[in-house]
Amino acid sequence: IDATVVYALGLDMKDKVYLKDLEVDSPYNTYKINSLPIGPIANPGTQAIKAALNPETTDYIYYVLDKQNKKHFFTNSYDEFLVKKKEFAN
């Protein structure tokens, strides 16, 4: 998820981000600056705030997005993560 680059380029989160996009000169591009962006890049919704205040207890350390089904897959297994990453690479 390259939210700071998406914001810097004025893209939508549904747009594809290319390697060349990571080179954009912007005070929001955290690939090129060694600090937080100069300002906010988004506002969280109510559901996100509630989730942050009351996080679920899990042992997950990896996740990958299934773009076709618009769902995330979570796991604590690196091998399983790699399998799903390859499976969802569309």
Q: Do 15 and 33 share a structural domain?
A: yes
Q: Which residue has the tokens 């005070």?
A: 27
Q: Encode pLDDT of 18-38 as tens digits.
A: 999 999 999 999 999 999 999
Q: Do 49 and 74 share a structural domain?
A: no
Domain that holds residue 23: 1-53
pLDDT at 87 (0 to 100)? 94
Q: Do 35 and 1 share a structural domain?
A: yes
Q: Count structural domains, the chain.
A: 2
Of 42, 43, 88, the C-alpha closest to 63 is 88
Instruction: Name which of 22-26, 51-55, 67-71 the model is least confident about.
Output: 67-71
Q: Do 64 and 49 share a structural domain?
A: no
pLDDT at 90 (0 to 100)? 64
pLDDT at 14 (0 to 100)? 78
Q: Do 68 and 30 share a structural domain?
A: no
Count Cβ atoms within 10 A of the Cβ of residue 42 and give its class: 0-12 exposed, 13-18 middle, 19 or more buried. exposed
Indicate whether 15 pLDDT > 90: no
Q: Do 44 and 9 share a structural domain?
A: yes
Q: Do 49 and 6 share a structural domain?
A: yes
53 vs 1, residue with greater confidence: 53
Three-state DSSP at 75 gives: strand
